[in-house]
Chain A
């Protein structure tokens, strides 16, 4: 009996690696500490009422960003482990199988559980405020989206201490991801972690399309909408077309593994190539999904910190929409060397290159927004200036990769690794940082320390170039991706060592950012944003106090210009301007709900059951999901009105009396 339990446990838990025992201990200590702190300070009720059940888009956004930071830590540790292993030839720091798990989880976590939630967090934080709206279109669904993402991310992360991590690469190409080569549970964790959070992503896409199309403040025509909201619209359109493909693809892979189907195996009439086509039909739009909102952020930031109107607004909008559409026409460039033939390769090479045109246009427009402006270099702008050279070089190497016959030499090499890290870190990560620093005062009511922020910025940038520039050369010298080690005679060690040092610098940069946030919270009183408009902003979110009240706008703004708040400030300075005291009326708001977190919890259980083929857990899990849906359908107490008195009280305490 005892023996069989022991056997089961050594199978169930991942054993034998000191790194993982360390992680086990860290997880348990952290959990105990959290429970202790919450109990000691009697904060359970506060946590439940204010955060876990909230449907306030700003709080949902904060939870997204917090999760993204945690995941960035996890993915970053993975990256550092890999770079440590590769720092010198023939190191034995990580065993091949462990290394394979690490690069797989690094990729999945960074794209799906770091970039995506960071992006959704910024959507939530900024879009309704920019639109002059009081909420997103479907607040309940928004909270549910977050909790589904969270459940999926946790399920995926659990794999490295329970059952074993996936090791088939971040896109899990069959046949390697099929049962015959990959019999463990890691791949099932991959499928269910992504599936569950994917439902959330799709719902977020729908939610923000509807929000943008239906909830803009009166007078805000589409062509007067702030550029970040435009980018969110473009990104969400791509989401609703691409995520269903991902869902279907992973469902088919699941059927192969669980039900003995043969969609992607050669015996039985399937074909792995079908998977590779499908996964990239999602995967390529995905990279534009995450980078488009960053473009939106840069547009806001460049214009605000140059104190100038965004140059070529219409061009920017068209460029964004063109990119969103073209992103669906390029997927086959990921397998130029798979023997598609010259016709197919030529088509996808050309359609890939074409994306460089609208992207280039955007860079010129940003530059000419700065031209004849007055540029100040606070954190958000600093990240934007760091982004431009990085992204321009990354974009160029992207064009180089798209030259199909030359790609035969770049493909699967470190050249490719360097390219996509350059556009993802230089474009997406720098962009989201710019956005986070930009909207931070609006979210929390205080500014972060600029000095620490500059240290973080420089460590990130210098670390980045040191890490990835050598990788271009390594790629040209024939070093392929996903190598666990290499021999001395290849002559790759010098550049690899430099690259690993660069990775370490980026790790330090991340610590600076954590310090910056801790420092900010500690000294928030001295950095309070009392104006609500710390950057002399241009769009509507800066017209309300910081932190934004939960109903956002006491009175819905009337929009007449593109940079409405900027123009309003100009109008107020003119002579003869008389402020009209606005008429307040009760505000209609949704109620908090515990159903999203419970439903996501049920999904988590069902997913865990699917991973281990435990029918006894799958059934109650799915039943729980259904019950949550039922409970929500029959809940008629979903909304309330905030009385005028309360609004007056809140506004007075946020702005100081009679300054509405």
Chain B
């Protein structure tokens, strides 16, 4: 019986190792995060490998040691292994296994701390060719992504086009529950939160098609918040901008309100958008009451100037409509119960 158990244990260990090796065997190149296409994702992958190796220094011996000890000291009729029922303390040994993890964690801590500052998402990317970064303003809507190109004056939904080799400065907010903006092959995610504009610098080193998604749950059609990312050459990008300017409809304020209604969306492009739409979206959540919103504090941590709630003359345009919707909902709980709600009834049940 006991032999059988041990045998099975060995099988289990083997299986575990096999499954762990699966990604390595199947080739990392097909796994998004391990196949970076930009400097941020590349550094993050290196950090992942480095931390894995550091951890493995402890983990692998422990796994081997466990297997050996469990095998050697199992109870069987003719066992020859030593048995010392009262041996329960050894300062030397305990020094070793308090000491080694401390050294490893210390090393990892130094690596991590340095990388945390180096990879701070709002830190501008150093670009060799002195290229001016492209700004893209990202808004998470229910349940779609709106990308605005303030310098080009165009906008798109669920489709992001960026020039290859150019740092992109993403300014990210939400006009919906909090989401998280993530393009695995270009670099790690950051939350999209209403009332704040988060900054994330990413860059695509190669042309190609990637994809991004919303990583933080936002309700019914959350699973439809995938978007395509095309990294193209500078010329292609300029062509695309011109095409969009020529052929696409404009995004009006009313159009935005419609877009912001909860529903999934196809890919769309717009030849223009209302001036200051992004700033308006950021500030409308903060400007209805001046209760010392912590917005400024949290964005300042990025070294990023918050959109001041005072200069948002246009913020009021959206505010009134928005307030009557949200404000009323909050107040009249009874009304909600009896189906007086329109917006989210579907999602609640």
The answer on a CB contact under 8 Å between B16 and A266 is no
Q: B330 is contacted by which of A179, A306, A412 (Cβ under 8 Å)?
A: A179
Encode contact with B along A385-418: 1 for CB under 8 Å, 0 otherwise.
1101100110010011011111111011100000
Q: A306-B73, A338-B191 are in contact. Are A356 and B223 (CB under 8 A)?
A: no
Kindly provide the distance from the CB of B271 to the nearest chain A CB, expressed in whole angstroms. 29
Chain A proximity of B186: nearest CB distance (Å)? 10
CA–CA, A211 and B258, complex, Å:
62
Q: Does A237 contact B (CB under 8 A)?
A: no
Task: Identify B33's interface contact among A308, A371, A412, A478, CB under 8 A.
Answer: A478
Task: Select one of A96, A100, A465 contacting B19, CB under 8 A.
Answer: A465
- The reply on A469 being an interface residue by CB < 8 A is yes
Q: Is the CB of B2 within 8 A of A376?
A: yes
- Given A175-B194, A411-B180, A469 contacting B219 (CB threshold 8 A): no
* Residue B265 is within 8 A (CB to CB) of chain A in the complex: no
B-side contacts of A180, CB under 8 Å: 325-326, 329-330, 343-344
Q: B268: CB under 8 A from chain A? A: no
CB pair B323–A267 under 8 Å, yes or no, is: yes
Which residues of the other chain, B, contact A469 by a CB distance below 8 angstroms? 16, 19-20, 22
Query: Which residues of the partner chain B approach A249 to less than 8 Å between Cβ atoms?
Result: none
Q: Are A392 and B63 touching (Cβ within 8 A)?
A: yes
Query: How distant is A508 from chain B, measured CB to nearest CB, in Å?
Result: 17
Judge whether B255 is part of the interface by a CB distance below 8 angstroms: no
In whole angstroms, how far apart are the Cα atoms of A342 and B123 in the complex?
10
Distance of A272 Cα from B286 Cα, bound (Å): 12
Instruction: State the Cβ distance, A118 to closest chain B Cβ, in Å.
Output: 24
Residues on B with beta carbons closer than 8 Å to the beta carbon of A360: 58, 62, 97, 101
Q: Please name all residues of chain A whose beta carbon is closer than 8 Å to the beta carbon of B93 when the two chains form the complex.
A: 364, 368
Of B45, B82, B97, B286, the most chain A CB neighbours within 10 A belong to B97
Q: In the bound complex, how far is the Cα of B105 from the Cα of A408, in angstroms?
A: 20
| Residues from chain A with Cβ under 8 Å of B337 in the complex | 183, 185, 612-613
Select from chain A the residue with minimum beta-carbon distance to B28: A476
Query: What string of 1s and 0s marks CB contacts (under 8 Å) between B153-195 and chain A?
Result: 0000000000000000000000001101010110111110111
Which single residue of chain A is at the shortest CB-CB distance from B113?
Answer: A346
Considering the complex, give the chain A residue whose CB is closest to the CB of B341. Answer: A183
The smallest beta-carbon distance between B305 and chain A, in angstroms, is: 14
Whether the Cβ atoms of A342 and B120 lie closer than 8 Å is yes
Chain B interface, DSSP helix/strand/loop, else mixed? helix
Interface string of A288-311 (1 = CB under 8 A from B): 000000000000000000111111
Please pick, from B45, B290, B331, the residue contacting A260 in the complex, using a CB distance under 8 A.
B331
Contacts of B263 in A (CB 8 A): none
- Segment at the B interface, from A21-29, A483-491, A541-549: A483-491
* Chain B residue with Cβ nearest A179: B330
Whether a CB of chain A sits under 8 angstroms from the CB of B31 is yes
CB contacts (< 8 Å) of A476 on chain B: these are 23, 31-34
Q: Are A337 and B190 in contact (CB under 8 A)?
A: yes
The segment out of A119-127, A436-444, A454-462, A647-655 that lies at the interface is A454-462
Does any Cβ of B come within 8 Å of A173's Cβ? yes
Would you call B333 an interface residue if the criterion is a C-beta within 8 Å of the partner chain's C-beta atoms?
A: yes
Query: Chain A's nearest CB lies how many Å from the CB of B223?
Result: 5
Judge whether A361 and B31 touch: CB under 8 Å: no
Q: A259 — nearest CB in chain B belongs to which residue?
A: B333
User: CB < 8 Å: which of A307, A344, A350 contacts B113?
Assistant: A350
Residue A372, interface by CB 8 Å:
yes
Using Cβ atoms and an 8 Å threshold, which residues of chain B touch A480?
182, 213-215
Which of B6, B43, B69, B347 is close to A367, meaning CB atoms less than 8 Å apart?
A: B69
* A-side contacts of B246, CB under 8 Å: none
* Known A181-B177, A469-B22, A476-B34: A265·B330 in contact at CB below 8 Å: yes
CB atoms of B220 and A273 under 8 A apart: no
- Is there a chain A Cβ closer than 8 Å to B253's Cβ? no
Q: How many A-B residue pairs have CB under 8 A?
A: 365
Contact with B along A165-190 (1 / 0, CB 8 A): 00101000101101111111110000
- In the assembled complex, B86 has its CB within 8 A of some CB on chain A: yes
Q: Are A337 and B188 in contact (CB under 8 A)?
A: yes
A470 to B17, CA, bound (A): 13
- Which of the 9-residue segments B126-134, B144-152, B231-239, B293-301 touches chain A? B293-301
When distances are taken between beta carbons in the complex, the residues of chain B under 8 Å from A356 are 101, 105
Q: Does A582 contact B (CB under 8 A)?
A: no
Complex: A365 Cα to B214 Cα, angstroms: 43
A623 contacts the other chain (CB 8 A)? no
| A97 contact from B34, B59, B198, B346, Cβ within 8 A | B346
| Cross-interface CB contact of B112 among A269, A376, A403, A465, cutoff 8 Å | A403
Contact status B63-A183, CB under 8 Å? no
Residues in B neighbouring A184, C-beta threshold 8 A: 348-349
* Contact digits for B93-115, partner A, Cβ 8 Å, 1 yes 0 no: 11001100110010011011101
A20→B25 CA distance, assembly (Å): 43
Chain B residue with the shortest CB-CB distance to A411: B189
Residue on A nearest B84 in the bound complex, by CB: A372
A382 interface hit (Cβ, 8 Å): yes
Does the CB pair B116–A342 fall under 8 Å? yes
Name the B residues within 8 Å of A14 (CB-CB). 349
B222–A408 touching, CB < 8 Å? no
A94 → chain B closest CB, angstroms: 11
Contacts of A164 in B (CB 8 A): 348-349
The 8 Å CB contact of B85, one of A271, A373, A392, A411, is A373
Partner of A403, one of B51, B291, B323: B51
| 8 Å CB interface, A240-273 against B | 256-258, 260, 265-269, 271-273
Among B9, B26, B120, B341, the residue within 8 A (CB) of A341 is: B120
| A236 at the binding interface (Cβ < 8 Å) | no
Measured in the bound complex, the distance between the Cα atoms of B214 and A292 in whole Å is 35
Residue of A nearest to B20 (CB): A469
Partner of B219, one of A100, A342, A349: A100
B196–A339 touching, CB < 8 Å = yes
Q: Answer whether residue A312 sits at the interface, using C-beta atoms and an 8 A cutoff.
A: yes
CB pair B16–A389 under 8 Å, yes or no, is yes
**Interface residue B55 (Cβ < 8 Å from any Cβ of A):** yes
Q: Which of A164, A173, A272, A403 has the largest count of B CB atoms less than 10 A from its CB?
A: A403
Chain B residues whose C-beta falls within 8 Å of the C-beta of A371 in the assembled complex: 69, 73
Q: Chain A residues with Cβ under 8 A from B12's Cβ?
A: 386, 389, 458, 461-462, 465
Query: Quick one: given A14-B349, A341-B302, are A96 and B196 in contact (CB under 8 Å)?
Result: no
Specify which of A389, A408, A478 is in contact with B190 (CB 8 Å cutoff): A408
B66 interfacial by beta-carbon distance below 8 Å: yes
Q: Is the CB of B55 within 8 A of A308?
A: no
Contact B302 A367 (CB under 8 A): no
CB pair A337–B180 under 8 Å, yes or no, is yes
Q: List 19 A-B contacts (CB under 8 A).
A: A11-B339, A175-B177, A181-B344, A183-B329, A183-B348, A185-B337, A260-B330, A337-B189, A339-B196, A353-B105, A360-B62, A367-B69, A368-B90, A371-B73, A375-B73, A377-B74, A407-B188, A461-B12, A613-B333
Which residues of chain B have a CB within 8 Å of any CB of chain A?
A: 2, 5-6, 8-9, 12-13, 15-16, 19-20, 22-23, 26, 30-34, 41, 43-45, 47-48, 51-52, 55-56, 58-59, 62-63, 65-66, 69-70, 73-75, 79, 81-90, 93-94, 97-98, 101-102, 105, 108-109, 111-113, 115-122, 177-178, 180, 182, 184-185, 187-191, 193-196, 198, 211, 213-223, 226, 285-286, 288-294, 298-299, 301-302, 323, 325-327, 329-331, 333-334, 336-337, 339, 341, 343-349
Which residues from chain A sit less than 8 Å from chain B, CB to CB?
11, 14, 96-97, 100, 164, 167, 169, 173, 175-176, 178-186, 256-258, 260, 265-269, 271-273, 306-313, 315, 335, 337-342, 344-346, 349-350, 353-354, 356-357, 360-361, 363-365, 367-377, 382, 385-386, 388-389, 392-393, 396, 399-400, 402-409, 411-413, 454, 458, 461-462, 465-466, 469-470, 472-473, 475-478, 480-487, 491, 612-613
Known: A408-B121, A477-B31. 18 other contacts (CB 8 A): A164-B348, A176-B177, A180-B330, A181-B177, A271-B294, A308-B84, A344-B301, A360-B62, A370-B70, A396-B56, A399-B55, A400-B51, A406-B48, A409-B189, A462-B15, A465-B15, A470-B22, A473-B22
